[in-house]
Amino acid sequence: MSWKGVFPAFTTKFTANDTLDLALFEKGLQSQLDAGVDGLVLGGSLGEASTLTTQEKETMVKLAIEIAGPVPIVLGIAEGATRDAIKQAALGKSWGVKGLMLLPPMRYKSDDRETLTFFKTVAQSTDLPIMVYNNPVDYKIEVTLDIFEQLLECDNIQAVKESTRDVSNVTRLISRFGDRYKILCGVDTLAMEELLMGADGWVGGLVTAFPRETVAVYRLIKAGMLDEARAIYRWFLPLLELDIHPKLVQYIKLAEAQVGLGSEYVRAPRLTLIGEERERVLKVVKEGIATRPVLPELQFAK
Amino acid sequence: MSWKGVFPAFTTKFTANDTLDLALFEKGLQSQLDAGVDGLVLGGSLGEASTLTTQEKETMVKLAIEIAGPVPIVLGIAEGATRDAIKQAALGKSWGVKGLMLLPPMRYKSDDRETLTFFKTVAQSTDLPIMVYNNPVDYKIEVTLDIFEQLLECDNIQAVKESTRDVSNVTRLISRFGDRYKILCGVDTLAMEELLMGADGWVGGLVTAFPRETVAVYRLIKAGMLDEARAIYRWFLPLLELDIHPKLVQYIKLAEAQVGLGSEYVRAPRLTLIGEERERVLKVVKEGIATRPVLPELQFAK
Amino acid sequence: MSWKGVFPAFTTKFTANDTLDLALFEKGLQSQLDAGVDGLVLGGSLGEASTLTTQEKETMVKLAIEIAGPVPIVLGIAEGATRDAIKQAALGKSWGVKGLMLLPPMRYKSDDRETLTFFKTVAQSTDLPIMVYNNPVDYKIEVTLDIFEQLLECDNIQAVKESTRDVSNVTRLISRFGDRYKILCGVDTLAMEELLMGADGWVGGLVTAFPRETVAVYRLIKAGMLDEARAIYRWFLPLLELDIHPKLVQYIKLAEAQVGLGSEYVRAPRLTLIGEERERVLKVVKEGIATRPVLPELQFAK
Amino acid sequence: MSWKGVFPAFTTKFTANDTLDLALFEKGLQSQLDAGVDGLVLGGSLGEASTLTTQEKETMVKLAIEIAGPVPIVLGIAEGATRDAIKQAALGKSWGVKGLMLLPPMRYKSDDRETLTFFKTVAQSTDLPIMVYNNPVDYKIEVTLDIFEQLLECDNIQAVKESTRDVSNVTRLISRFGDRYKILCGVDTLAMEELLMGADGWVGGLVTAFPRETVAVYRLIKAGMLDEARAIYRWFLPLLELDIHPKLVQYIKLAEAQVGLGSEYVRAPRLTLIGEERERVLKVVKEGIATRPVLPELQFAK
């Protein structure tokens, strides 16, 4: 499992009847593969995981594995009880996923000792490679550098989804752990800054609607073509900002629908956008589409 | 269903093997009834709801109903998907609960329209009386006065668990809705202030360890005996402060264990207190026990 | 100096030419005295202290002392350098003030040791009685209970203006220090709650526009007439909420102008309200005036 | 006036008697010039401006101008009243400064209209070039993009000290205003990220103790030598973090003292570091000094 490159946090496609829209799921997923993504995350917040049944997760994961071939499928785990997280990890393994994106406990602000114990316990229950999702803004619990120090003994904890919003954390992680932990930026609007400072990858949101542009930014940065990368990134930023809003799911699904890669349907308690809010987001999306930059030929290896 | 008086948010008793300790559950619950509580909430945060199975909830609810007799059992509902909340409400009904304590959606910061729709949809799915739990500090979503205005049409939404930490909200609710919504203070350290301003009840935490003192404070306030109430409350405050910490479950369980009404066992990801932290909390609890006030004879009706 | 009762935080009256309007100042101040206030604070935030010259402060203080007779005038001190605070305290003494309202250092988030040293140094430089203004929300620095413990040795530190927004602090202060420190509530919207819990006074904002109602609430609470107090307070709350907004100066001056006790003029960088915002506040003020409650005869001693 | 490159926010040097230490001031300032800084800011927060007299500011500014020759001296303006800011700008002009660093009003959270009016009024009162200091974290007031839009008409508002902590703001400013506003990063720990995204300069803190390293990072980035820049920056980060603490003045002065470019004396209410805190910071400083990187030959133009 190589934690490197662009990993879309893939959305769940619903029909008007609130069931899985597998045809659209396949179409959207194929667009990601065509653009050259390096992995795919299912069952994250963007996937509306908190509203999915286990059966639905299984269906999507198995279909994604079939379509994606060698591109690894990563399963998000976000549970309130340690034993439920362990159970979910085992299910993911049985479904064939190649890695886990493991969140801290849901609905309880564990302290450092509890957070450490939680991650260790789940990691020791599986041989799947794990990316720890560190997002104290949305989930209150910060996985500190000291916790990461103590997690070094878990060989299968291999990567960090860095969503603290503190870009200095990339430098801190590298200074302390070298490349022991791969660092994937988890906040679209900070991706270029963090990749420039040495992050290995990008767990993206808007990539589900704009896969080619996302992959281009990533590869240009890695190729040292900063002027070209900055030009695309400046165009991209108003769209990427849709990723840092509580309604990122609806916003990104609206963008997906506009480019023909998804639909606006969400599952309750989420509601589809209406009125002024929908117009405002739609304006951003349409301006983005209207001014889409010509991408440089990316004739270089990943 | 009368939303009035003291409603303990009851803890779940575990054995050393992480199973339900029903004997201890019964003992603790009986102590609440003996002290004269007016209702009991099961399956709240204090009950570690996010780690319980449906089967465990059913077992506890049915046992509590059997023991409590006429004292109403209220079931907490905290779900991520609207349809799961509906399902849980129906289960509660089938188990025999007399009311629901309904939280906004978990794990998604719904906007006002979505929050309103969520509460309406669940309320319309059941005929059980509902208390809306308004706790924007812990759950990010605020149920605003305007949302409560629009919820007036749901006759079974009858009460508010007021946990905004903004004590002025009691006055605002009364000025706007009179006594249409019963107000129950959901923050132990603000209970006396809010009861003095007109709140109808107290969903308590420390009551599970100190039931008689909690009931005394409530009744003295309602009887206009402020000096007596303040005297107990001043003694009580250091204990009540254990309720406003992320580890309130462990802290309160430590207090329960000290007074013989519970044990310290919690379910992972929570861990039992150790070291300096346990000593610090224990000191507060022991000082509280050592200086327990003599309670006035409460020879007045509820 | 008795730190007890209602202490208006008096506003500075300006003319259209940005000079002191002493006639209006006198009129407003007389209205406070007529209503029975127990003291007056000049040079607070509500007095736009950060924009006043020393000469202007002196003029107002001396005029207020002349008018107020036995009612004590308290001078606000809010300085960035310790030596400037000492200088200001000495000036206040020379002008004849009876007490000081001392803020922590401005424009620097001092730590506990620095905060303690600051208060001690200023207190030791003067024999005037001092009320420490504790407002960590607006000024970031919290004067903790432990700091108050160490300030006990300063006999002239006699009172706390409690503006932490944490109403439990009233109980905490009393439990720890008895009546060594008088407690004056510094947040209009929390005054009734804190007075009920044992606070000694109220440094008020809206009192400058509604002096009689403010004094009535205070006296009714102290007389144990809670129903009457609550009735007035419920009417009052929408007005009192004007006190907890960054533009409290403009909002309160608009209210003063409507009742004929002040003008809307403020000094830059503050600007007079315009447009929708002015209309919104004006509506609150006018509704308050239109529904002004009949006050009970307050035939009891202060 | 060229707002480009490294601008140290220079500290004020005090003697043991709390007077200006002009000899040390000169020594420290010369070290900055020798390292090749592009300008110098006096009278900022790091200069303990809120505790300085006007006479002291004048003395330092005039001495700095004399020493610095063609390197521009910029004066910080942080006042509570608009008219005081205007007065200070005129004084700076008369003393010979080449530019102003203008903060929003102190001690009042002005709204957008007031903030705009404040900046416009001060800018129109002077012909000195102005850098607007945008630091909503420490000063609460955010200078939004819309405010900057309306400030375009003030030709002498030429630069932004970007201290929002939101690194995306660099991209937003460039996308909206091109190079109309020069952007200087005002947060040491974000400097490399923001310079990489197109910022023009760096108003630095630790530069006063480590001038050569700061200038090297800046020039390497501008020369596209990212690996070399990152290597120094990773070494530098633990030191740069001293800049984002409420006690940055004391921390940076401790660093200055260790490298022989300053002393630890501060003016009250600030106190010199003691005990564990001093040891902790000293350890960071000493480790930085012990591992000081060899700087590449910077044989390229600024």
What DSSP letter does each residue of B45-108 carry, written as one string?
A: GGGTGGG--HHHHHHHHHHHHHHHTTSPEEEEE--SSHHHHHHHHHHHHHHT-SEEEEPPPTTS
CATH code for the domain in which residue C93 is found: 3.20.20.70
Question: Is residue D15 one of the residues assigned to a domain?
Answer: yes
Mean pLDDT of chain B: 97
How does residue C299 score in pLDDT terms, banded at 50, 70 and 90? low
Is the pLDDT assigned to residue A120 strictly greater than 60? yes
Is the pLDDT assigned to residue C301 strictly greater than 90? no
Residue A145 in contact with partner chain D when CB distance is under 8 A? no
Question: Is residue A207 one of the residues assigned to a domain?
Answer: yes
* Partner-chain contact B237 C171, CB within 8 Å: yes
- For an interface test with A, give the residue of D187, D193, D206 to mutate (most A CBs within 10 A): D193
In chain C, % helix, strand, coil (3-state, to 5) comes to 50, 15, 35
Domain, as residue range, for A65: 5-229
**What is the tens place of the pLDDT at every residue in C159-203?**
999 999 999 999 999 999 999 999 999 999 999 999 999 999 999
Region B128-134: mean pLDDT is: 98
How far off is chain D from A171, nearest CA to CA, in Å? Answer: 6
Is the pLDDT assigned to residue C150 strictly greater than 90? yes
**What is the tens place of the pLDDT at every residue in D82-106?**
999 999 999 999 999 999 999 999 9
Question: Is residue C12 one of the residues assigned to a domain?
Answer: yes
At residue C36, the 3 state secondary structure works out as coil
Within B125-210, residue ranges assigned H as helices are 136-139, 145-151, 168-177, 191-196
**CB-CB: which of D114, D117, D269 is closest to C108?**
D269
Region B242-246: mean pLDDT is: 97
Question: Is residue A26 one of the residues assigned to a domain?
Answer: yes
- Answer whether B159's CB lies under 8 Å from B174's CB: no
Residue in B with minimal Cα distance to C235 = B175
How far off is chain C from D161, nearest CA to CA, in Å? Answer: 19
Angle of helix C54-68 versus helix C22-35 axis, rounded to 10: 40
Q: What is the pLDDT of residue C298?
A: 65
Q: For A150-184, give the DSSP string.
A: HHTT-TTEEEEEE-SS-THHHHHHHHHHTTSSEEE
* Residue C3 CB burial class (10 angstroms; 0-12, 13-18, ≥19): buried
**CB-CB: which of B172, B197, B224 is closest to C230?**
B197
Residue B234 in contact with partner chain C when CB distance is under 8 A? yes
Q: What is the pLDDT of residue B299?
A: 54
C 147-206 near D (Cβ less than 8 A): none
Half-sphere exposure of D31 (CA within 13 A, CB side): 22
Residue A80 in contact with partner chain B when CB distance is under 8 A? yes
Q: State the CB neighbour count (10 A cutoff) for residue C19.
A: 11
**What is the tens place of the pLDDT at every residue in D184-243?**
999 999 999 999 999 999 999 999 999 999 999 999 999 999 999 999 999 999 999 999
**CB-CB: which of C197, C226, C237 is closest to B193?**
C197
Integer Cα distance of C185 and C169 in angstroms: 10
How far off is chain B from C1, nearest CA to CA, in Å? Answer: 27
* Partner-chain contact C106 D111, CB within 8 Å: no
How far off is chain C from B190, nearest CA to CA, in Å? Answer: 7
Question: Is residue D302 one of the residues assigned to a domain?
Answer: no
Residue in D with minimal Cα distance to C50 = D80
* Partner-chain contact D167 A168, CB within 8 Å: no
How does residue A283 score in pLDDT terms, banded at 50, 70 and 90? very high
- Give the residue from C166, C199, C167, C198 showing the smallest Cα distance to C183: C199
How does residue C302 score in pLDDT terms, banded at 50, 70 and 90? very low
- Answer whether B289's CB lies under 8 Å from B25's CB: no
Return the percentage of chain D with pLDDT > 90, whole number.
Answer: 98
Is the pLDDT assigned to residue B297 strictly greater than 80? no
**What is the tens place of the pLDDT at every residue in B148-159?**
999 999 999 999
Is the pLDDT assigned to residue B298 strictly greater than 70? no
Kindly state the greatest CA–CA separation across chain D.
Answer: 52
Q: State the CB neighbour count (10 A cutoff) for residue B72.
A: 19
**What is the tens place of the pLDDT at every residue in A121-149?**
999 999 999 999 999 999 999 999 999 99
Mean pLDDT of chain A: 97
Is the pLDDT assigned to residue A302 strictly greater than 70? no
Integer Cα distance of C234 and B170 in angstroms: 10
**pTM value?**
0.97
Q: For C67-118, give the DSSP string.
A: HHTTSPEEEEE--SSHHHHHHHHHHHHHHT-SEEEEPPPTTS---HHHHHHH
Question: Is residue C91 one of the residues assigned to a domain?
Answer: yes
* Partner-chain contact B117 A271, CB within 8 Å: yes
- Answer whether C175's CB lies under 8 Å from B234's CB: yes
Interface confidence, given as ipTM, is 0.96
Integer Cα distance of A141 and A132 in angstroms: 12
Mean pLDDT of chain C: 97
Return the percentage of chain A with pLDDT > 90, whole number.
Answer: 98
* Partner-chain contact D233 A171, CB within 8 Å: yes
Q: What is the domain count for chain A? A: 1
Residue in B with minimal Cα distance to A272 = B114
* Partner-chain contact B108 A271, CB within 8 Å: no
Q: What is the pLDDT of residue A299?
A: 53
Mean pLDDT of chain D: 97
How does residue B301 score in pLDDT terms, banded at 50, 70 and 90? very low
Question: Is residue B86 one of the residues assigned to a domain?
Answer: yes
Q: For C157-183, give the DSSP string.
A: EEEEEE-SS-THHHHHHHHHHTTSSEE
* Partner-chain contact B233 C171, CB within 8 Å: yes
Q: Which residues of B touch C230 (CB under 8 A)?
A: 171, 197-198
Residue by residue, pLDDT tens for chain D (302 residues) are 999 999 999 999 999 999 999 999 999 999 999 999 999 999 999 999 999 999 999 999 999 999 999 999 999 999 999 999 999 999 999 999 999 999 999 999 999 999 999 999 999 999 999 999 999 999 999 999 999 999 999 999 999 999 999 999 999 999 999 999 999 999 999 999 999 999 999 999 999 999 999 999 999 999 999 999 999 999 999 999 999 999 999 999 999 999 999 999 999 999 999 999 999 999 999 999 999 999 987 654 44
Q: Any idea what the Cα angle at residue C117 is, between residues D264 and D136, rounded to 5°?
A: 70
Question: Is residue B45 one of the residues assigned to a domain?
Answer: yes
In chain B, % helix, strand, coil (3-state, to 5) comes to 50, 15, 35
At residue A90, the 3 state secondary structure works out as helix
H or E stretch at B290: helix B275-290
**What is the tens place of the pLDDT at every residue in C48-94?**
999 999 999 999 999 999 999 999 999 999 999 999 999 999 999 99
Does residue B302 or residue A231 have the better pLDDT? A231
